[in-house]
Chain A
Amino acid sequence: MEEILKVEKLTKRYEDITVLENVSFSVKKGEVLVIVGPSGCGKSTLLRCINGLEDIQDGKVSIEGKTGMVFQSYELFPHMTVLQNLMLAPLKVQKRDKGEVMKEAEQLLERVGLSSKKNNYPRQLSGGQKQRVAIVRALIMHPEVLLFDEVTAALDPEMVREVLDVILDLATQHKTMLIVTHEMNFARAIADRVIFLEGGSIMEDTTPEEFFDAPRSERAKRFLSTFEYKKKE
């Protein structure tokens, strides 16, 4: 299958601190790549470098087409209704037909179970509902690659599921996705491939089965063990 995203020897520095060093990988069309790693390992920065929110000091990022991104929180435009949030970029950036965009927005809202909220403002929605709208807002631009940056990290536990279900649904539609997450069960269920990042470098790039059941590096083992709880003897 064709490669849709290719990252070559990417290096990102903030002044003296190197956040990402010599990171290389590629993503095929329809592939779901999950990026895991301890806090501060550079996962989010990697996504931000891919969609151009951060400049890079060395290396190359090539994408066939556009990216869409969903952030951790508070990204909907608070002065616009759900529908206005969804329609702004298609109308202003892509100059699409208003009727067509509106129809697509309504269909997508239906798909994520939020048809009844189309004229509500973000402040009238729960955290999980806001994130579902944010996902639709990225989708409606028809990006070739979707980037998810810890989209459930700021949510109350009972709302995590509804958001992850939407992303799982997208995987069944063969969307190409890069997902940064701390939800290990979800990562395992959705990933075609897992990248384990630590200290700004890729430590493992493998299948979810191998990563979760038989990680090769000591660091990955240690990282995974932080998600396990055993009662002390």
Chain B
Amino acid sequence: MGFEVLFKGKNMVRLLQGLGVALQISLISVAISIVLGLILGMLMSLKKPFINLVSRVYLEIVRIMPQMVLLFIVFFGYTKLTGRNISAESSSLIVFSFWGTAEMADLVRGCMAGIPKIQYESSRALGLSRLQTYIYVIIPQIVRRLLPLSINLITRMIKTTSLIMMIGIVEVLKVGQQIIEANRKSSPHAAFGVFATIFLLYFIACWPISCLAKYLEKKLA
């Protein structure tokens, strides 16, 4: 079935290391995206015309551009423009944060818009200050709505990191290809075993996160 190649040499360890690279890039990007997305989302909620225009253009670019094209633009474009080298890892962090920030900001904006005006008014009628209203009433509601949605963003990022092998990063999918290539003669069916294992690895990484999102969604609804 092709699973035997995994036990040759350090193949399994290399696959896991590849998964580690993918997870590392996605988790750093997620962390950056959450922070920047929160800031941008709140700015967007201020409804200032200039911020609205800029953020609309930004969100639209992210929406219509395939992530792979963004990766190529940053990785090759940067070098072309500045004449300096940019590492594939930095490029992917830039692209994934650029994408994640847009998604996160849109989620934050949506959650903030979803808080009815009466929540602010009844807080004020009770004598709560603006700050108290945000701390006790508004932000807890936003976090509850945001948490499951942003966790889903993490799983989507992990899956999309499979693209970064296109700019030469040796992540789990690339390792898999290398193993298959190297064992073409001795194990002609390696492809099945290797990809099935990679499927399993992605599943093990994403499934608990997805369960957590579902659990939180239910618990905090």
Contacts and interface: CB of A to CB of B under 8 A. Distances in A.
Nearest to B116: A74
Closest 4 CB pairs between A and B?
A75-B122, A89-B126, A93-B127, A69-B125
B137 interface: yes
Helix, strand, loop or mixed for chain A's interface?
Answer: loop
Contact of A93 (B122, B132, B141): B132
B24 to A, nearest CB: 34
A130 B140 CA distance: 20
A88 B124 CA distance: 12
Interface residues of A, number: 24
Interface in B102-154: 116, 118-119, 121-122, 124-128, 132, 136-137, 140-141, 144
A53 interface: yes
Interface of A: 51-53, 66-69, 71, 73-79, 88-89, 92-94, 134, 137-138, 141
Interface residues of B, number: 17
A88 B118 contact: no
Given A78-B141, A79-B140, A88-B136, A141 B119 contact: no
Contacts of A75: 118-119, 121-122
Nearest to B141: A79
Given A73-B118, A76-B122, A92-B136, 10 more contacts: A51-B125, A67-B125, A68-B125, A69-B122, A75-B119, A88-B128, A88-B136, A89-B126, A93-B128, A93-B132
18 contacts: A51-B125, A52-B124, A53-B121, A53-B125, A67-B125, A68-B126, A71-B122, A71-B125, A75-B118, A75-B122, A77-B136, A77-B137, A79-B220, A88-B128, A89-B128, A92-B132, A93-B128, A137-B126
Contacts of B122: 69, 71, 75-76, 134
Contact of A89 (B121, B127, B141, B220): B127
A89 B123 CA distance: 8
B124 to A, nearest CB: 6
Contacts of A67: 125
Contacts of B220: 79
A92 B128 contact: yes
Nearest to A53: B121
Contacts of B121: 53, 71, 75
A52 B116 CA distance: 19
